[in-house]
Amino acid sequence: MNDSVECPICRMRCNDARHLGAKDVTEYDCPRCGNYSITHQAVLNIENSEMSKQDRAKVAAYLRERTLRGDLRIRILSQQFPDMEFDTPVATISEIIKDHFPRTVSERLDRALKNIHRLSEHLGDGIDLDLEIDGPVLFAEHKDSFDFIADTLQEAGWVKLNPVFGTHGIVLTARGLERIAELERNIVGKESKQAFVAMWFDSSLAKVWEDGFEKSCDAAGGYKALRMDLTEHNQKICDAIIAEIRKSRFVVADFTGHRGGVYFEAGYALGLGIPVIWTCREDELEKTHFDTRQYNHVVWKDEKDLFVKLKRRIEATISA
């Protein structure tokens, strides 16, 4: 352990840093960002890019959330290496900022609330958030957003800011706990090992299904990919599909072929709070509906490419 080591993301002094020599990777244990590892090249890129304070804070928040959630230590890469397989979840800085940081204020509030819950040891437990190190707990980029999020959580009735517990003392209220229960109820298949794949049933995609979707779900955490034929669309099958979506840990929605059912199933899953991973074959991306373009699709060329990219996306977005 080197006690003068600085976190390359937030620049805070770390508790611990271990160099994984041969792989050119360092593992950090940062009070602000939690546990992660990063390649030497990624560190150089951060130094050379003059990354903004805001972006650093976004990355710190994602890393801290993973640590609080008990996820596997993620490795930050300088870029995605499509042909390499990794034994850990991997992500680039730009993926974290664009894809993994909450997109909306309400998502930020929900995820901040869950972080507070993870830090609370028992009912009524007051925690003292340290502005210096706990900005990421509230997905705050600076002091103003920290105060804004804390105040908004209180206005929603989910927490009470209580100076008894410290300068930024905060305690979950009964309504906050109800909100958490509601969020967890929505993730019906939280413990599930099923991944629902909404896609076009076409023989041209048979190999893509087998060597792309099925294989990457399995490799990313032993998820069993399930797809249901939409060609015989009738009420009964619809009910069955809905039941299977509800039972799934996440949904992969592939827009190749632009089937109406895929849009329906992705929308249904989103409504339930089930995570959706958007994918599309490269040559078909232009044709996707405008309202799904706001989501960053995993764009793939063939089954091999899909396998690597989808596996990474699952590992980086679906908590263990």
Of residues 7 and 217, the one with the C-beta less far from Zn ion: 7
Instruction: For the segment 17-36, give every residue that binds Zn ion (CB under 5 A).
Output: 30, 32-33
Residue 270 sits at the vertex; the CA angle it makes with 116 and 172, to the nearest 5 degrees, is 15
Of residues 30 and 280, the one with the C-beta less far from Zn ion: 30
Rounded to the nearest 10 degrees, the angle between the axes of helix 260-272 and helix 235-246 is 40
DSSP state of 104: S
**Least distance to Zn ion, CB of residue 127, Å:** 20
- H or E element that contains 25: strand 25-30
Quickly list DSSP for 159-204.
EEE-GGG-TTEEEE-HHHHHHHHHHHHHSTTTT--EEEEE----GG
What is the distance between the alpha carbons of residues 70 and 12, in angstroms, rounded to a whole number? 21
Site membership for Zn ion, residue 180 (CB under 5 A): no
**Least distance to Zn ion, CB of residue 129, Å:** 16
Site membership for Zn ion, residue 277 (CB under 5 A): no
The number of C-alpha atoms within 13 Å of 41 and in the hemisphere containing its C-beta is 9
Site membership for Zn ion, residue 9 (CB under 5 A): yes
Of residues 7 and 172, the one with the C-beta less far from Zn ion: 7
**Least distance to Zn ion, CB of residue 21, Å:** 22
What is the distance between the alpha carbons of residues 83 and 87, in angstroms, rounded to a whole number? 14
Site membership for Zn ion, residue 76 (CB under 5 A): no
**Least distance to Zn ion, CB of residue 35, Å:** 10
**Least distance to Zn ion, CB of residue 23, Å:** 20
Site membership for Zn ion, residue 5 (CB under 5 A): no
- Interface residue list for Zn ion (CB under 5 A): 7, 9-10, 12, 30, 32-33
